[in-house]
Amino acid sequence: MTNLSRFNNKVVLVTGAAHGIGEAIARRFAAEGAAVAVADMDTKGAQVVSDEINAAGGRAIAITVDVSSSEQVSAMIDATVSQLGNIDVLVNNAGDVTIAKHFLTTDEAWWDHFLDVNLKSQFLACRLVAPMMAKSGGGSIINMSSGGATRSHRGMVAYDASKGGVEAMTRALALELAPYNIRVNALVPG
C-alpha cells in the first residue's frame, strides 16, 4: 500500500512538468503530500497542472522557464524557494527529442540546442540546488535520461550524446554528493 503522505512538508521541483511524464511526476508527488513547483516553457500548461493540483487540495505553483538559460534556471529556483521553501527533491525532466537530422546535414546550433536543453540544463539546476540540499541535510536529485544514452538512433547524434552525458554526470554527481546525504539517480523511461 502506498503511503500518500510520505512527502508531507517536502518541496519538489519538476522541470518539463506541463505535459507527459513530467506532469505525471508532479501530480504524483502532490498526491503524496509534496508542495510542487511545476516548471515548463509552456506557461499555460504549467498553470493548468498547478491549478488542478491546488483544486485537488495540494499545493503547487507554476513557473515559466527556459531550462537552457542560466538566468531563468536561477529565477526558477529562487521562485520555488521563496514561495514553497527549500527544495527537497529536484526532478530534471525537461528535454527535447524533436529535431532529427542526418549527421552530414547538421550544424553547431543543432548540436548546441540538444546539449543545452538536455544536459546543460540539468547541470545548471543541480549546481544551484545541491548546495541548498547539502546545507539542509540532504535530498534527492532525479535526472531524466533515455535509451539514447546506451543505444544509437539515426538522426539523433546530438540527442544520444546529451543523454549519455546525463548518465555520466549522474554517476559523477552521485559519487560527489553522497557524503552530503544527497541521492542522485537517472531514470530511463520505457
In the residue annotation, 159 being an active-site residue is answered as yes
Catalytic residue from among 7, 29, 114, 159? 159
Per-residue DSSP letters for the chain? Answer: ---TTTTTT-EEEEES-SSHHHHHHHHHHHHTT-EEEEEES-HHHHHHHHHHHHHTT-EEEEEE--TT-HHHHHHHHHHHHHHH-S-SEEEE----------GGG--HHHHHHHIIIIIIHHHHHHHHHHHHHHHHT-EEEEEE--GGGTS--TT-HHHHHHHHHHHHHHHHHHHHHGGGTEEEEEE---
Residues labelled as active-site residues: 159
